Amino acid sequence: MKRIAVLTSGGDAPGMNAAIRAVVRTGLAKGWCMFGVRHGYAGLIAGEIFTLGARDVGGIIQQGGTMLGSARCPEFETVEGRMKALSQLCRHEIEALVVIGGNGSQAGAHALSLLGFPVVGVASTIDNDLYGSDVTIGVDTALNVSLEAIDRLKVTASSHHRAFLVEVMGRTCGYLALMAAIAGGADAVMIPEKETDPEVVATELRVAYDNGKAHAIVVVAEGARYNAEGMALYFQTHRERLGFELRMTRLGHVQRGGAPGSFDRLLGTLLGAAATERLADGKHGELVGLLKGEIAATPLAEVVTNRKTLDLGLLKLARTLAQ
Q: Cα–Cα distance between 146 and 258 in angstroms, integer?
A: 10
Flag whether 26 is marked binding. no
Residue choice 115, 253, 307, 312 for contact with a copy of itself (CB under 8 A): 253
Residue 21 sits in the site that holds a copy of itself (CB under 8 A): yes
Question: How many whole angstroms separate alpha carbon 92 and alpha carbon 47?
Answer: 8
Using CB under 8 A, pick the residue from 46, 86, 207, 254 that binds a copy of itself: 254
- x/- string (CB under 8 A) for a copy of itself, residues 160-189? xx--x--------------xx-xxxx----
Single out the residue of 8, 60, 82 nearest to residue 265, CA to CA: 60
Per-residue H/E/C for 25-42? HHHHHCCCEEEEECCHHH
Return d(Cα 165, Cα 189) in angstroms, integer.
9
Question: Could you give the residue numbers annotated as active site?
Answer: 127
Measured from the CB atom, the residue of 282 and 313 that comes closer to a copy of itself is 313
28: contact with a copy of itself by CB under 8 A: yes
Kindly identify the residues of this chain, within the stretch 213-242, that bind a copy of itself according to CB under 8 A: 213-214
> Based on CB atoms, which residue is closest to a copy of itself, 239 or 253?
253
Piece of 43-51, 107-115, 279-287, 288-296 that binds a copy of itself (CB under 8 A)? 288-296
Distance CA(142)–CA(199), nearest Å, equals 29
| Contact between 258 and a copy of itself per CB under 8 A | yes
Q: Which of residues 81-120 bind a copy of itself (CB under 8 A)?
A: none
- 56 neighbors 26 (Cβ within 8 angstroms): no
* CB nearer to a copy of itself: pick between 215 and 284: 215
> How far apart are the C-alpha atoms of 201 and 59, rounded to whole Å?
46
Nearer to a copy of itself, 250 or 283 (CB): 250
CA–CA separation, 135 vs 133, rounded Å? 5
Q: Please answer whether residues 176 and 227 qualify as being in contact, where contact means their C-beta atoms are separated by less than 8 angstroms.
A: no
321 binds a copy of itself (CB under 8 A): yes
Is 156 a binding residue for a copy of itself by CB under 8 A? The answer is yes
Q: Which of 93, 210, 281, 294 binds a copy of itself (CB under 8 A)?
A: 294
The amino acid present at 267, given as its one-letter code, is L
Strand partners, 35: 5, 51
Query: Pick from 58, 78, 115, 302: which binds a copy of itself (CB under 8 A)?
Result: 58
Q: Is 151 in the site for a copy of itself (CB under 8 A)?
A: yes
Residue 39 marked as a ligand binder:
no
Q: What is the layout of strands, in order, in the sheet containing 162-168? A: 188-190, 216-221, 162-168, 245-250
Return the closest-CA partner of residue 137 out of 181, 106, 168: 106
CB of 31 to a copy of itself, least distance (A): 12
